Amino acid sequence: MPIEVHKPGLSTTVQDAGRNGYYDVGIPPSGALDQYSLAAANHLVGNAPHAAALECVYMGPEIGFTEPATIAVTGADIPPRLNGEERPLWESFPVAAGDVLDFGFAKAGARAYIAVAGGIDTPVMLGSRSTYKLGGLGRPLAAGDVLPIGKHSGDFAGRVVPEELRPALSKEVEIRVVMGLYDHVLAPEGRKNFLGSIWTLTPVADRVGFRYKGSELELIERTPPFGAGQDPSNIVDAPYPIGSIQIPGGVEPIILHRDAVSGGGYMMVATVISGDLDVVAQSAPNTRTRFVEISLDEAMAARRDYRQRSQRVADLFA
Amino acid sequence: MTANPTSARYSWGGDEHIFVELAESMSLQANFRAMAITTSLREQRPDGILEICPANASYQVRYDPDDIAPQVLLNQLQEIEKQVGDAADFSLSTRIVEIPVLYQDPWTTETLLRFRDRHQDPDATDIEYAARINGFSSTEEFIAAHSNSPWFTSMVGFVAGLPFMFQMVPQEQQLIVPKYLRPRTDTPKQTVGHGGCFGCIYSVRGAGGYQMFGVTPAPIYDPDQSMPDFEDFLVFFRPGDIVKFTPIDRDQYDANIKQVEAGTYRIRSRPFDFRLDPFLNDPEGFNARMLEVLRAD
């Protein structure tokens, strides 16, 4: 039992690549919101890319090690400190029994990933170790928690992900989306404003969804169909794709992320492409965001680029 | 898109989802088509399918486009849609489920009183308001209308294990109640709620916008899988379950809760093969037969 949680941070959870196959009964995939940074952290410590690690948001935890281990921190620029001394991000380093890891203030990005050689070895629930707080599958860490680590062998300290393979963390981002779903409920002017204006991320940004402020969008004149509800933005409750953007009442778009509510009655107008969900994950409140429309073919090309980039990280340590 | 009312509308949901709207309006027919198509897709289960999610009048598929090309999957879904047609031949192997309800219970009453500022009618309770706007002269009459006919589970989701239920009566008899003006931040676990034309049971405590009519002692979600109904899976409800609400009094509620605490409580349910046409041709006769199946033995 080599990890003890002294202070849990703001909301630190165990996450891996997530679970599939239960969204039809309302259990979302969960898993690391920034999958690229999770995989990179795992590669740095010699784990399989989908192994479970700790995801922390805005503020890191303080944890103590009761056994020697190799760890790495990736994702947001939240500087790790070992026994008070700053350590680099995107590099693996050894820790000794009795060492304490904590974090400085976040400088850029929102979510950091702490991987430990062997992986966090909490119980597998529905095929994954990922925490899904709303459904009571695991919970955020609390002071006094003790986390088991899986078996590992080999020395992985000193591995580095080079600068060009680290994600840019910016306060101004472009998120690529495929329009569709119920985008016909937007009036032409509303559609133009959705894609043309700058949206500011509000503090309402968690694993379920990210809410943005900006202009009010014009909807077509419409009597909602039977069963939909009264508001012009209402639809008969329908499934929500992961990454879909809904706009209740035509104001404050919400991007659903990997702990999404699986369905509901608000029109969705677009879906963030899977790779750019990492960019959403690293958006801190006040991030200025533009939604950029791309075609499905362009989305497939972006997916190939994302895969190649992930493969380059894997190849560094193959 | 075509003008044919039985033709579905297909849309890409990013690079990993296909979203399919079978009808804009809610109806049992649209829901049954969603069930039939997703059941057929489950049987075929092409490689690369991650999630198959039937919903009220729509469904979605999440897939890995590295394993199955988007256009290939789209063609396959359109082919299944054609084969299913109006789903008249489709027989759904499902269950009839009895859910006991303590209407106007102390817990939802306490909760609704805390959120009167978000409600259409701050001087009435949710059930008084629902009874009035649906033309009933008393809450007792409303409870009778709510519990006398069965409900079809048209979708499971929002949060883990929450059933959306569509009342199996002609549209003009369906109970219609708007959602709260602004959602509550709290809803007791196992609240029996209603929004628009849909009934629901809140599987976990949390935010919610549906009107609250009562509470069931029956757990419907058990992440620890400690109860007998949850030995195989942590979620009780499946799309297609047919639900009969049965009013109970406080003594019965307390007795059921004792069984829950002792780990012996079971929801009464019976297997049932459901077809749409026999029901639509004679809803009352069909509902009576379903109740016989539920009560048999």
Q: Do A241 and B239 touch (CB under 8 A)?
A: no
- In this structure, the answer to whether residues A141 and A215 fall within a common structural domain is no
Residue B5 predicted with pLDDT over 80: no
Q: In one letter, which amino acid is B157?
A: G
Beta bridge partners of A179: A270
Residue range B53-66: mean pLDDT, rounded: 98
Residues A76 and A120 grouped into a single domain:
yes
B130-172 pLDDT tens trace: 999 999 999 999 999 999 999 999 999 999 999 999 999 999 9
pLDDT score of B6: 58
CA–CA dist B169, B155 (Å, integer):
18
Max CA-CA distance within chain B?
A: 59
Range name among A80-94, A143-157, B190-204, B257-271 with the lowest pLDDT average: A143-157
Contact B184, B117 (CB under 8 A): no
pLDDT at A306 over 90: yes
Write phi, then psi, for B202 (nearest 5 degrees): -70, 120
| pLDDT given for residue B297 in this prediction | 76
Burial of B18 (0-12, 13-18, 19+ CB in 10 A): buried
Q: Decide if B13 touches A, using CB distance below 8 A.
A: yes
pTM recorded for the entire structure: 0.95
DSSP string, B90-123: -EEEEEEEEEEEEET-HHHHHHHHHTGGGSS-TT
CATH 2.40.100.10 maps onto chain B at 93-295
Tell if the CB–CB gap between B55 and A178 is shorter than 8 Å.
Answer: no
Residue in B with minimal Cα distance to A177: B14
The answer, for B207 touching chain A at a CB cutoff of 8 Å, is: no
Give the number of domains in chain A. 2
Inside any domain, residue A16: yes
Identify whether the C-beta of residue A50 lies closer than 8 Å to the C-beta of residue A7: no
Q: Say yes or no: A17 and A136 in one domain.
A: yes
What CATH number is attached to the domain comprising A261? 2.40.100.10
* Architecture of the domain whose range is B9-86: 2-Layer Sandwich (3.30)
Please tell me which of the candidates A22, A177, A237 has its beta carbon nearest to residue B164.
Answer: A237
CA dihedral A15, A21, A27, A28 (to 10 degrees): 50
Among A208, A224, A260, CA closest to A239: A260
Q: Which residues contact residue B67 at a Cβ distance below 8 angstroms, ignoring those fewer than 6 apart?
A: B47, B48
Contacts of B70 (CB under 8 A, 6+ apart): A296, A300, B12, B15, B18, B63
Q: Say yes or no: A105 and A186 in one domain.
A: no
d(CA A72, CA A64): 15
Q: Where are the beta strands (DSSP E) in A180-219?
A: 199-205, 209-213
Domain with CATH 3.30.1360.40 in chain B: 9-86
Q: How far is A53 from chain B (nearest CA, A)?
A: 22
Nearest-neighbour CA in chain B from A176: distance (Å): 9
Expressed as residue numbers, the domain containing A182 is 172-308
**Residue A42: inside a domain, yes or no?**
yes
- A104, part of any domain: yes
Residue B19 in contact with partner chain A when CB distance is under 8 A: yes
Domain at B93-295, CATH homologous superfamily: Cyclophilin-like (2.40.100.10)
* Site from B27, B51, B186, B233 to mutate, A interface, most A CB atoms within 10 angstroms: B51
Do A141 and A247 have their domain in common? no
Q: Is the pLDDT of residue A88 over 50?
A: yes
Interface A:B, Cβ pairs < 8 A: 179
Average pLDDT, chain A: 96
pLDDT surpassing 50 at residue B1: no
What is the C-alpha to C-alpha distance for residues A305 and B118, in angstroms, rounded to an integer?
Answer: 48
Residues B20 and B67: beta-carbon distance below 8 Å = no
A178 and A257 housed in the same domain: yes
